[in-house]
Amino acid sequence: MRFKRKKSGNKFGAIKTVVDGTKFDSKIESKHYIQLRDSDLVFEMQVTYTLQPSFKHEGKLIRAIQMRPDFVVKTPYETYVLDSKGQLTPEFKLKAKLLLHSHGVEIIPVTSMRAMDLVIDRIREANTPREIAQELDDIQKQMRKEKKLKKLNK
Report pLDDT for 12: 62
What secondary structure letter does DSSP report for 7? P
The candidate with the shortest Cα–Cα distance to 79, out of 132, 35, 29, is: 132
**Alpha-carbon span 133 to 10, nearest angstrom:** 26
**Alpha-carbon span 14 to 26, nearest angstrom:** 5
86 neighbors 25 (Cβ within 8 angstroms): no
Q: What are the per-10-residue average pLDDT scores of the chain (154 residues)?
A: 50 74 85 91 92 93 93 90 87 91 90 87 87 86 81 76
H or E element in which residue 77 lies:
none
Report pLDDT for 21: 84
Domain boundaries, the chain: 17-153
Report pLDDT for 11: 57
pTM of the model: 0.78
H or E element in which residue 131 lies:
helix 129-153
